[in-house]
A and B are shown apart, each in its own frame.
Chain A
Amino acid sequence: MNFIQTLKIALRALRTNKMRSFLTMLGIIIGIAAVIAMMAVGTGASYVISQQIASIGSNIILVLPGSTTSGGMRTGSGGAQTLSSDDARAIMAECPSVAYAAGTVRTAGQIVSGNMNWSSVVMGGTPELFEIREWPVVSGRPISQEDENGALKVCLLGQTVAENLFGSADPVGNIIRIKKIPFTVIGILDRKGQSPQGQDQDDAVFVPLRTAQRNLVRSQRSGIVSAIIVKAENGEVIDTAESEIKALLNQRHRISNAKEPDFSTRNLSEILAVAEQSSKAMSLLLGAVASISLIVGGIGIMNIMLVSVTERTREIGIRMAIGAKKNDILLQFMTEAVLLTMLGGLIGIALGAGGATAVSRMLEWPTMISFQSIAIAFVFSGAVGIFFGFYPAKKAAGLNPIDALRYE
């Protein structure tokens, strides 16, 4: 008996019980749709995370001041004012694996333009900061070395700030007041989006570092920075760069015990790896939950196939009496089960892909349906059919034709 004939018989059997076939398939449909949708959302999530991390800039090391103790109270990391602009310059000049280093200070303040005002983050940074963050201006000009050296009162606006203060008008050339000090807007930064922590990176104003140190932040000494942001030459030397920075700063800060430095470094590629790992674990978990529903669906298939074998005992008897071999019967029922699960799988793939697209439309959450996940889902649904169809088919093939013919 050839394959096409077997397929025809199986299709006819499924068509005779349309409702039952559909309900049986439903388990697989839901299972596969869940797998596809979960994988799409999971892949989308890890894409978002890696995008956000990339938006900070690649190959970045963050140098933060250590904690300080005042009156028995220890502040957290970054509390002490131990890093200076000179440290930043030294790192850039003396560490061979470092491409750029920029000192930054950070404060918050009310920003006023005409009758509009907006509270935002004000960052002071040297011009290298924008190379490191890979953050160009879209109109006007970036902060130059002259602005930095002269501590000029100029600023760059993030997109969110520009929209809130100026609406659709072009802010370049206008004067704004930051903490009541007038600044000239020289440019608008490109849109950057959310940070991995969910902050709007475009809600910020940037001024030259020296300007900020003199006018906007208070510190015990001049030239204090709240962080140094460093870009390594490339991804391979990022660990080398980190140890070079540590060695240099230990030397500069005269730290004898390297276990108690007055600064700390953070490697963003580590954060990226952790984030990727957690999103991977998440999609694995989602996948596991979805596969449980597939197994449940498979058991449903087995149940219905067993009922079907019992119901069609007489038909099996007739087929055997007129010459069907054991394998013919086995194949017939296996084909039916696999056809059920594969059809269910196809419908499930369509539903899951549709669901994922709907989710990304409604929640503006990117989803990604990989060809791989579709292929896996399809093969898996077939495998479920083979696995759960085998026992009922074996039972059918093992019937004694005499008893089967006499079965009422």
Chain B
Amino acid sequence: MSIVISLTDIRRVFIMGDQQFEALKGVSFDIAPGEFVAIMGASGSGKSTCMNILGCLDLPTSGRYLLDGGDVGGMSTDQLADIRNKKLGFVFQGFNLLARTPAIENVELPLVYAGLHSKERRQQALIAMEQVGLSGKENNHPSQLSGGQQQRVAIARALVNNPAVILADEPTGNLDSSTTEEIMGLFTALNRQGITIIMVTHEHDVAAYAGRQITFKDGRIISDLQTSQACQAGQAGQKA
């Protein structure tokens, strides 16, 4: 069985002045390719810290994180930037698109930092735009698009470099319920195509789209459930 993400006894300690705060107290789980995982928990439960570590934006204080077979521990910030660029795709709650920049160029941005030529960039970006159903909106600026459309652009940007995993942080937090359904439908469709998705949310009906729900509380995992929802990977590589 192949594994795309493997966390082993991850701890993250924040030091504020003379106070120590342990945000993650030994977290371990594996994720297989093609899984759609929802990470849940109240605020302060450690789910965001975990997401930052998964996204290679932060390094754990101790523990081991294997991403796509490579050990992330001990990497330099530039090496981490390279990992984020090549192996991860990010979708944020606030869309985080560059204002005053056409949609297509927003989608191209990861490829710019990957050093691709403009022709290749444009080609791949057009494919990604088509995948999220936004063909024809390439030259619209974010301000000319609805919230749902903006989030689709953000998803296209996350897809464009063919990442091993897409990380979505409260992707529907700023959207109304019908748009939420639309976006979650898109995620489900992408997952059916074999794309691994890890999503942080605190809404149960959003989490219900995922095939597996990991719940955090006080820096620990309190439950890790396979739900009946369509998830071809099925077997979770869950550790004790």
Contact = CB atoms under 8 A, between A and B. Distances in A.
Interface of A: 1-2, 5, 12, 16, 314-315, 317-328, 401-402, 405
B187 interface: no
B112 A321 contact: no
Contacts of B78: 325-327
Task: Give the most central of A314, A315, A327, A405: most B CB within 10 Å.
Answer: A405
10 contacts: A1-B112, A315-B98, A322-B85, A322-B109, A323-B81, A323-B84, A323-B114, A325-B81, A402-B52, A405-B96
Given A2-B115, A402-B58, A322 B98 contact: no
Q: Binding site of B, secondary structure by majority: helix, strand, loop or mixed?
A: helix
Given A16-B100, A326-B77, A402-B52, 20 more contacts: A12-B100, A314-B96, A317-B96, A318-B97, A318-B98, A318-B109, A319-B109, A320-B81, A322-B85, A322-B90, A322-B110, A323-B84, A324-B81, A325-B77, A325-B113, A326-B78, A327-B78, A328-B113, A401-B57, A402-B57
Interface in B6-48: none
Interface of B: 52, 55, 57-58, 77-78, 81-82, 84-86, 90, 92, 96-98, 100-101, 109-110, 112-115, 157
B96 A323 contact: no
A216 B153 CA distance: 101
Contact of B113 (A12, A324, A405): A324
A320 B97 CA distance: 13
Contacts of B58: 402
Contact of A321 (B55, B77, B86, B97): B55
B82 A323 contact: yes
Contacts of B52: 402
B189 to A, nearest CB: 22
A2 B86 CA distance: 17
A243 to B, nearest CB: 74
Nearest to A321: B90
A323 B110 contact: yes
A18 B112 CA distance: 25
Closest 9 CB pairs of A and B: A323-B85, A323-B113, A322-B110, A325-B81, A325-B78, A318-B96, A402-B57, A401-B57, A323-B84
